[in-house]
Amino acid sequence: MYIAAPSILSADFSKLLEEVKDVSTAKFLHIDVMDGHFVPNITIGPLIVKSIKGKVDMVFDCHLMISDPKKYTESFAKSGADIITFHYEALNSKEEILDLIDYIHSFKIHAGISIKPNTSVDVLDEEILSKVDLVLVMSVEPGFGGQKFMENSLPKIKKLRELKDKFKYNYIIEVDGGINKETAVLVKKAGVEAIVAGTYVFKSQNRKETIKELEKDF
């Protein structure tokens, strides 16, 4: 059984709560936060997260595509984020990375780290992998929904799965971008555990069936 994480980036924001309730059979709600600086797009802030918190029984999986994740950690944590995932590329040193993981944990929530398509999985070393609760492999360039899946995510997922099995790490392996019926099978075969899907879920005829499709074995 896989974790489905519908991404509200593809929802109709004029009726956001209705849209969120409609996908609430999924375990995770993926919330894409963009600052117009780390990525060209601007999306959701903590106020929106707060407005839907408590209205559905889902894990709030906040994906921070922002240049200064530490600055906004507290407000997202207090607004209801259950997982805060920041980007490896947004930070300047390993010290900053380890410090941010601890800082996120200080709010009694989970910490995730994400890598963009051009970042090697090898930048995530033992020290990082043993501390994080989630590793998010981007299978598109972060910034927009509806892009084409990039296959270079597959060996990264495989590697993370091998390392997890070998060293008994606790992180959840998540993938994000370009997921559809076919690419979902590819990431499952590679060893993913949580699957983010925006367009595929929100634009489908039957969202609940699409969520089930994501959750089931290949």
If one asks whether residue 199 binds ligand DX5 (CB under 6 A), the answer comes out as yes
Identified binder of ligand DX5 from the candidate list 46, 69, 112, 177, rule CB under 6 A: 177
68 a catalytic residue: no
If one asks whether residue 176 binds Zn ion (CB under 5 A), the answer comes out as yes
Which residue in the shown chain puts its C-beta closest to ligand DX5?
Answer: 198
Identified binder of ligand DX5 from the candidate list 36, 40, 146, 155, rule CB under 6 A: 146
Identified binder of ligand DX5 from the candidate list 198, 207, 210, 213, rule CB under 6 A: 198
Sheet holding 3-6, edge to edge: 3-6, 194-197, 172-176, 134-138, 110-115, 83-87, 59-65, 28-34
125 a catalytic residue: no
Q: Which of residues 11-70 bind ligand DX5 (CB under 6 A)?
A: 30, 32, 63
State the Cα–Cα distance between residues 101 and 51, nearest whole angstrom.
26
If one asks whether residue 174 binds Zn ion (CB under 5 A), the answer comes out as no
Identified binder of ligand DX5 from the candidate list 178, 184, 188, 192, rule CB under 6 A: 178
Instruction: Dig out the tokens for 148 from the structure.
Output: 């084409």
Identify the sign of the CA torsion 4, 111, 136, 134: negative
Instruction: Say if strands 134-138 and 172-176 run parallel, antiparallel, or are unpaired.
Output: parallel
Count of residues interacting with ligand DX5 (CB under 6 A): 21
Identify the sign of the CA torsion 45, 50, 55, 60: positive
Instruction: Dig out the tokens for 13 from the structure.
Output: 């924001």
Alpha helices in 69-193 (DSSP H): 69-79, 94-105, 126-129, 153-167, 181-190
If one asks whether residue 87 binds ligand DX5 (CB under 6 A), the answer comes out as no
Of 119-127, 154-162, 163-171, 176-184, the window that binds ligand DX5 (rule: CB under 6 A) is 176-184
Per the residue annotation, which of 35, 122, 176, 217 is the catalytic one? 176
Does residue 20 sit in helix, strand or coil? helix
Residues lying near ligand DX5 in the complex (CB under 6 A): 7, 9-10, 30, 32, 63, 140, 142-143, 145-147, 176-179, 196-200
Residues marked as catalytic: 32, 176
